[in-house]
Homo-oligomer: A and B are copies of this chain.
Amino acid sequence: MTAEIVSVGTELLLGQIVDTHAPVMARILAECGIGCTRRVTVGDNWERLVATLKEGLDRSDILITIGGLGPTVDDLTRDAIAAALDDSLEVVPEIEDRLRLFFSSRNIPWNPSIGRQAQKPRSATLIDNPNGTAPGLFCQKNSKSVIALPGPKGEFNPMAHGRVKELLSRMEGDRVIHSRTLKIIGMGESTVEERVRDLMDSDSPSVAPYAHTGEVHLRLTAKASSVQGADEIIDPIDAKIRERLGDAVFGIDSDTVESKVIDLLKAHGKSLAVAESMTGGELGARLTMVPGSSKVFLGGGIVYSPRAKSELAEVSTSSLDNFGPVSREVASELAEGIRKKLGADFAIAITGNAGPDVDRGDQPVGQVYLALAEEGRVVVEESLYRGVREDIRRRATQQALLMIRQRLLRGNR
């Protein structure tokens, strides 16, 4: 069973916006064990859209469209699906009533173009959209399936991860295909593969590795008659992998390193502060993207200038003068200084040179010092990262999260 994804919209096609929905949908297909063989992006153009849908239906069992379900004349997907399936459109009275109520309550005059959102191809059932006016579509005709989802993020995401995933996981008869992704930090892809290579030959569950910046993911996929049954197939291999990789496995599925660091801090009842020179606030931004982080993350200093290093984190001018801002000594003083100032249990400091020029002391581009301070102890790590400014900063914040995580996992030592 194979599927294709069709993203619809001229702004997408012309690169005015980056398509993040299609990757989400592709991952959901993978989690459901359905092979995604092609992704296509087309603009709001009737002939090209219908042609794309027809070709996709010729090649694949399932077609998933994203976007183009709105009320404007540019929104062609609903009609194009009907045309590609050689199906007719019909009005769903309950939807029309709901739309009329919605728009009249907002004093927006009704027009026929709005009414198009109440139509559906005859072969379609509707997929509820609790966050918008356009429902999704699930069409089944001639043993082909077409699923249509709206483009706005707040509507797409809950529908894709909810009802659509449920539909897709039931596509292969009454078998459920279910996956779990184990996320690994602090261990290279080759080491991970070496340690689990024999498990990667298994078919049920299948085990597939993926590398990301500073992380490796292993996806375990199994087929069974229920999600619970699939989990029972996955569990023993999950356990084997954790046995071999130990603490390097930091989470599963939607977990992020920063969310797990916040969880660990909560579990240990410890607080964290940061002092960021090279990364300019990026570590704080990552930590505070986690809802509820304010319980354990106190804040910190963006210690870009020498004065900021002294004023916010009590770095001595003699250290700045003698060792330079990118140095083991300054990293150490930054971490300890901000820790004491905010009364935190732990503090992380980052200083380095992210390039493009060697303008921060005499250190080469990519040279980074990370310090982790706690009561009575400061540990400093030195690294040389490659890549552009963005990569070097990302690697530094990733490594900082790894440092605090490993410290918390060690417990009271």
Contact = CB atoms under 8 A, between A and B. Distances in A.
Interface of A: 11, 13-20, 22-27, 30, 36-43, 45, 48, 52, 55, 153-154, 210, 212, 217, 273-274, 276-285, 287-289, 291-294, 297-305, 307-309, 311-312, 341-343, 355-357, 359-360, 387-390, 393
A23 B27 contact: no
29 contacts: A13-B37, A15-B25, A15-B26, A15-B27, A15-B30, A16-B27, A18-B23, A37-B42, A37-B45, A37-B48, A38-B40, A38-B48, A40-B40, A40-B41, A274-B281, A274-B302, A277-B299, A278-B288, A279-B288, A280-B299, A281-B282, A285-B285, A288-B304, A289-B389, A291-B355, A294-B360, A299-B312, A300-B302, A301-B302
Contacts of A389: 289, 291
A281 B301 CA distance: 9
Given A11-B210, A341-B312, A302 B304 contact: no
A390 B281 CA distance: 16
Copies of this chain in its oligomeric complex? 2
B312 A305 contact: no
Contacts of A303: 299
Q: Give the dominant DSSP class at A's interface.
A: mixed
Contacts of A289: 280, 389-390, 393
A294 B306 CA distance: 10
Contacts of A55: 55
A23 B15 contact: yes
Contacts of A276: 281, 284, 302
Given A23-B18, A38-B41, A281-B302, A343 B154 contact: no
A13 B42 contact: no
Nearest to A388: B154
Given A300-B302, A356-B291, A27 B39 contact: no
Contacts of A273: 308
Contact of A13 (B39, B154, B311, B393): B39
Contact of A280 (B38, B288, B292, B342): B288
Given A11-B210, A13-B26, A15-B36, 8 more contacts: A15-B24, A16-B23, A18-B23, A154-B387, A284-B302, A292-B357, A293-B304, A294-B359
A274 B25 CA distance: 38
Which among A20, A279, A305 has the highest number of chain B CB atoms within 10 Å? A305
A343 B307 contact: yes
Contact of A281 (B210, B284, B308, B359): B284
A294 B304 contact: yes
A38 B7 CA distance: 10
B30 A52 contact: no
A390 B38 CA distance: 30
Nearest to A308: B299
A14 B210 CA distance: 11
A189 B23 CA distance: 29
B281 A288 contact: yes
Contacts of A43: 37
A306 to B, nearest CB: 9
Which among A24, A26, A38, A274 has the highest number of chain B CB atoms within 10 Å? A38
A281 B297 CA distance: 12
A307 B271 CA distance: 12
A299 B305 contact: yes
A16 B29 CA distance: 12
